[in-house]
Every structure is written in structure tokens, then in C-alpha cells.
């Protein structure tokens, strides 16, 4: 699994961090998504898929 984020689409809602805080964070100054691990372990796959699903801006893409 590879995670790709589009910072231009991000609206800083923070849903991704709530869903998978080991993979996503937010920039302090504006709340835009920060990808902590573009190849998360299999144990986090469900959380990452959930984060992509709940992103209101559809700024998270998963490549299998």
C-alpha cells in the first residue's frame, strides 16, 4: 500500500488524523495534512482506508 496526499485539495478538516494518527498529521500553521508514512504497515491498512474515505476533500489516494 502506498499513500498519496494532495496538499492542494486538503481543507484541514483533520479527519485523516483522527482515523490514522500514525500515518497522518497536520501542519501547525494551517492544518494542512502531513503524510508521516507513505508505506504504512499492513496493520494500519484499514485505518488508512478509513481516513481516505472520510476525507471531505478527497485529498488522500491509496495505491495498492
CATH class of 2-63: alpha beta
The Cα angle at residue 42 between residues 38 and 44, in degrees rounded to 5: 70
Q: The pTM is what?
A: 0.95
pLDDT of residue 50: 98
pLDDT tens for 17-58 read 999 999 999 999 999 999 999 999 999 999 999 999 999 999
Domain ranges of the chain: 2-63
Measuring CA to CA, how many Å separate 33 from each of 11, 28, 55? 9, 10, 11
Amino acid at each position: 500500500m502506498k499513500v498519496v496526499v494532495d496538499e492542494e485539495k486538503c481543507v484541514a478538516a483533520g479527519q485523516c488524523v483522527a482515523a490514522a494518527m500514525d500515518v497522518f498529521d497536520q501542519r501547525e500553521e494551517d492544518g494542512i495534512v502531513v503524510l508521516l508514512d507513505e508505506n504504512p504497515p499492513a496493520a494500519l491498512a484499514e485505518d488508512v482506508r478509513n481516513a481516505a474515505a472520510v476525507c471531505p476533500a478527497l485529498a488522500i489516494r491509496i495505491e495498492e
